[in-house]
Structure 1
Amino acid sequence: MGRLGKVRMKIVIYMPLLGDGTDCWRPVQAVQVTQDIFEVMDHIPEGEAWAFAPGSRVRCRNHVFSGGDAGLIAFEYAITAIGIINC
């Protein structure tokens, strides 16, 4: 019998875009690692600059956007006293 691995479901988080002068967000696919830490799965489209690199682990929090919709936004790299979290 084979081993069953953890099922990692992709969800949408919102990535801050850089260089637009206003708050802009890109919905991206991510995998939840812990309660508030997610691994970014998407790639940066040509012509965009993201606050966090693809493949990185980021902390997310709830946010209400100007239109009234809510979602999880990436706000910092997931770093501990000994380095980046690798769960």
Structure 2
Amino acid sequence: MSAATASSTDLATVFVRMLDEGTAVWRPVMAERLGETTYRLAMDPAPEDEAWIFQPGDIVVVEQRQSDDSLIAVALATQLDEPSWALRRKVG
């Protein structure tokens, strides 16, 4: 499934970075769209043998990867407010 919507226009797959893997590994997680760049990760618990940079239920800011349109979780929404993040993306 791509970053395109799943069964609803409010759901999408967001990729969350896994920790302690030795290389960059990303876990696809269902998420609810809350704003232009903010999503709430599904509450389903992470597998016991995985450590994620963000936790189930976290509200995250995403950016769209140009190569395949994947949505990548890049920060907790509490760390960046959406308007300033959108402005930063246009400027930077």
Which digits, 9 at most, give the CA deviation of each residue in 1:17-45, with x for residues without a partner? 00012111000000000000000003201
- In structure 2, how many angstroms separate the alpha carbons of the residues matched to 1:80 and 1:72? 18
User: Is 1:44 the counterpart of 2:46 in the alignment?
Assistant: yes
Q: Which amino acid aligns with 2:59?
A: R
Structure 1 pair 21/36, CA: closer, same or farther in 2 (3 Å)? same
- In structure 2, how many angstroms separate the alpha carbons of the residues matched to 1:71 and 1:80? 22
TM-score (norm: length of structure 2): 0.69
Unaligned runs of 5+ residues in structure 1 are: 1-6, 82-87
Structure 1 pair 62/43, CA: closer, same or farther in 2 (3 Å)? same
| Structure 1, 24-33 or 41-50: larger mean CA deviation | 41-50
TM-score (norm: length of structure 1): 0.72
| Pairing 1:8-87 to 2, within 5 Å after superposition | 9-41=10-42, 42-64=44-66, 69-79=68-78
The structure in which a higher percent of residues are strand is 1
1:71 offset after TM fit, Å? 0.2
Structure 1 pair 80/18, CA: closer, same or farther in 2 (3 Å)? closer
- In structure 1, how many angstroms separate the alpha carbons of the residues matched to 2:78 and 2:12? 21
How much is the aligned-residue C-alpha RMSD, in angstroms?
2.1
- Runs (4+) off by over 2 Å: none
Unaligned runs of 5+ residues in structure 2 are: 1-7, 81-92
